[in-house]
Amino acid sequence: MCHIPLFCWITATVLEDMLKSREKRELPKTLTQIYSHYVVLQNKVKMVKFDRGAATDPHWSPQSREMMESLGKLAFEQLQKGKLIFYESDLTECGMDLRAASVCSGVFTQVFREESSLYQDKVFTFTHLSLQEFLAALHVHQTFISSKVSLLEHKPQKKKTSKNLLHCGVEPDFNLLHQSAVDEALQSPNGHLDLFLRFLLGLSLPTNQRLLQGLLTQTGSDSQTIQRTVEYIKEKLGESLSTERSINLFHCLNELNDRSLLEEIQQSMRSGCLSRQRLSPAQWSALVFILLSSQEHLDVFDLKSFSPSEEAFVKLLPVIKAAKKAEYVTLEEHVFSSLTKQHLSCGLSERSCADLSSVLSSQSSSVKHLDLSNNDLQDSGVELLCEGLKSPHCKLDYLRSVGSQGIKGLNIFTTLKLKLDFCDVLSSCDLSERSCAALSSVLRSQSSSVKHLDLSNNNLQDSGVKLLCEGLKSPHCKLDSLSLSGCVNTDVGGASLASDLSSNSSSVRELDLSYNHPGDSAVKLLSQRLHTLRLSSCGLSEKSCAALSSVLSSQSSSVKHLDLSKNHLQDSGVKLLCEGLKSPHCKLDYLSLSGCVITEVGGASLAAALSSNSSSVRELDLSYNHPGDSAVKLLSQRLHTLR
């Protein structure tokens, strides 16, 4: 509603009048209160401007009351027909002639107005649909109070509902009216009775009836009646309703000053136990309402914060769709520890992929980061997901792991090349030489936008890496970061990589070759071009350290981040490496030597090299070594970070 200019104007008009008043009155909290104040205010304007009365006079004259009743009847009967513009024939059906309509539009100019017509016929309309809905509800409420006639046809409900209405010996008439209105609004295919229902229920509160005193000649309903209406709405919330209908029912509960369901869920959210609860349909609806009504932007949506299940995903899908800033969406496997480790997959299926696809392809989608780790979506699910990825509205730039089964046999690469800057989707997916050929064609494509590619823990071997290199050396390749960790790569594949990544046309600046054996020659060539090089557990030797040292001391050296952890370098290898570290040309900022079998001898060499004024290293990892206390003391004085 706050996006509707006229509603904002109505609210501002009401608040301005209340704040100018010397009476200390509570500001309106519901829609019914705002519109009741507004109608009273418009009648006061009429009385002062046209009836020459004083602002302190009783607001509702017989003439004003008659006009408002006529407008209410017109509003209701035309609302049922779905009409917003009224011609002479529509007025006649409602017992109003053109003269009476013109008078109403003349004195209640901010409620009802005459519009110009191309065919010189007089045309009338309410200034906004919400005013028509309010006056329609007022007409139904007043008619029921004055004549005990319900203008809404009641459709009998379940037996338990009838029992609820008749308990305590209270006449069920008002409840039947409210039930009829709830049922009719829920059956509306386009929600055209949603606001009408909120207003009708809100008018049953004594506080709103007092606001309209003089227009409403009698009052009706009591606390028991209101409570039974609340119970009926909660029953309806337990049924399978659309998100829009459920949300409107919560607005109705708000009009009736009942927030019990919402407070129950809010308490669970505050206590952190929401993810461990099995929620009822009504509670799910309450959670969606709270999240959609929250004034805080939903920047991160993590399914496991609510419940790691497909049911939760489906129930909360409207939240992802509506959240303008939900850029980071995590639907990964939920892991927790107890006596034994249990893995609760979110269990997302083909249905979930179809729903996700609709989110990604919607024009309002803002999701940029999607994590589907450890959900076995299968080929069919990934194919559905790709429909969303191909959409011009898709803003995704990070997609993580769709599982091994979802990649096999699927030509996903063509889709990914169009949309993703970061592709971590292929990690641990049993990719083969054939996959490398497909990926290579993507990297060579002129439209390719892939900048980060993670192929770690796939059995690519040297033959696959060689095929991949065809794409890496293409002038169209925009890849900045490549991970081939654990891809069973030897010095043959290392040589191919070194040759192509050391060329001037290569855009790759970050390479992870951990858990491979690329060979000393490849290591030397690769370290000449890259900014970040990870060589953890690569079987590096003393010879490798000599090669790296020569690169680090070279004037053209560009390596800033070097990971040599879990290699059997020993003190002799570290001593050689230190020759490069103390060079004024060395640009290294981060060095990891974790688990490299270094003793006090190697520690002393490192301390001497890194303590020099020319050293650029600011972060050093020496964990799982024994460098000696004196070396640690010297290093800690010089470095920003020492592990």
Give the tens place of pLDDT for each residue, 207-232: 898 888 888 876 666 788 889 999 99
Lowest-pLDDT choice from 33-42, 113-122, 525-534, 618-627: 113-122
Q: Is the pLDDT of residue 71 over 80?
A: yes
User: What is residue 159's predicted lDDT score, i.e. its pLDDT?
Assistant: 39
Q: Which amino acid is residue 202, in one-letter code?
A: G
Q: What is the side-by-side order of every strand in the sheet holding 112-115?
A: 85-86, 123-126, 112-115
Lowest-pLDDT choice from 40-54, 469-483, 582-596: 40-54
| Residue at 598 is within a domain | no
**Better-scored residue on pLDDT, 57 or 597:** 597
**Better-scored residue on pLDDT, 253 or 451:** 253
HSE at residue 230, side-chain half, CA atoms within 13 A, is: 18
Q: Is the pLDDT of residue 14 over 70?
A: yes
| 3-state secondary structure at position 591 | strand
Please state the rounded mean pLDDT for residues 339-351: 43
- Residue 263's contacts (CB-CB under 8 Å, 6 or more residues apart) are none
**Better-scored residue on pLDDT, 618 or 219:** 618
Specify which of 96-110, 171-185, 273-287 reaches the highest per-range mean pLDDT.
96-110
Interval 151-180: pLDDT, tens: 886 444 443 443 343 344 444 367 889 999
Q: Is the pLDDT of residue 28 over 50?
A: yes
**Better-scored residue on pLDDT, 125 or 106:** 125
- Enumerate the H helices of 513-569 as residue ranges: 520-529, 542-552
- Residue 416's contacts (CB-CB under 8 Å, 6 or more residues apart) are 389, 399, 423, 425, 442, 450
Torsion over CA: 247, 250, 255, 259 (sign):
negative
Q: Residue 133 in contact with residue 80, Cβ under 8 Å?
A: no
Q: Number of H helices and number of E strands within the chain? A: 27, 18
| Number of neighbouring beta carbons within 10 Å of residue 134 | 29
* Its pTM surpasses 0.75: no
Q: Residue 594 in contact with residue 626, Cβ under 8 Å?
A: no
User: What is residue 397's predicted lDDT score, i.e. its pLDDT?
Assistant: 64
State which H helix or E strand residue 14 sits in: helix 5-20
CA 564 to chain centre: 40
Q: Which of 290, 296, 204, 198 is nearest to 249 (CA)?
A: 198
341: β partners: 337
The torsion angle over the Cα atoms of residues 188, 194, 196 and 199, rounded to 10 degrees, is 150
**How far apart (Å, rounded) are the C-alpha atoms in residues 521 and 458?**
24
- β-bridge pairing 112-115 and 123-126: antiparallel
Specify which of 15-24, 202-211, 281-290, 358-367 reaches the highest per-range mean pLDDT.
202-211
| Residue at 463 is within a domain | no
| Residue at 130 is within a domain | yes
- Residue 360's contacts (CB-CB under 8 Å, 6 or more residues apart) are 367, 370, 385, 388, 389, 391, 393, 394, 396
| Residue at 103 is within a domain | yes
**CA angle centred on 24, ends 21 and 26, rounded to 5°:** 105
Percentage of the chain exceeding pLDDT 70: 74
Interval 525-569: pLDDT, tens: 888 778 999 999 998 888 889 888 988 888 888 889 999 999 989
Per-residue pLDDT band at 276 (split at 50, 70, 90): low
| Residue at 508 is within a domain | no
Average pLDDT of the residues of the chain: 78
User: What is residue 449's predicted lDDT score, i.e. its pLDDT?
Assistant: 66
| 3-state secondary structure at position 216 | strand
Please state the rounded mean pLDDT for residues 5-31: 86
User: What is residue 117's predicted lDDT score, i.e. its pLDDT?
Assistant: 65
**Better-scored residue on pLDDT, 605 or 355:** 605
Please state the rounded mean pLDDT for residues 432-436: 66
Q: Please state, in angstroms and as integers, the Cα–Cα distance from residue 151 to each residue in 138, 140, 230, following that order.
A: 12, 6, 21
Q: Is the pLDDT of residue 182 over 90?
A: yes
User: What is residue 307's predicted lDDT score, i.e. its pLDDT?
Assistant: 60
Q: Which of 571, 598, 582 is nearest to 638 (CA)?
A: 582
User: What is residue 378's predicted lDDT score, i.e. its pLDDT?
Assistant: 56
Interval 216-272: pLDDT, tens: 876 666 788 889 999 999 899 888 788 788 888 989 999 999 888 888 777 777 776
User: Domain containing 211: what range?
Assistant: 29-157+170-221
User: What is residue 157's predicted lDDT score, i.e. its pLDDT?
Assistant: 44
User: What is residue 483's predicted lDDT score, i.e. its pLDDT?
Assistant: 87
| Residue at 128 is within a domain | yes
| Residue at 151 is within a domain | yes
CA 447 to chain centre: 29
| Residue at 125 is within a domain | yes
Looking up tokens 């929600």, which residue turns up? 191
Q: Is the pLDDT of residue 129 over 70?
A: yes
User: What is residue 148's predicted lDDT score, i.e. its pLDDT?
Assistant: 80
Number of domains in the chain: 1
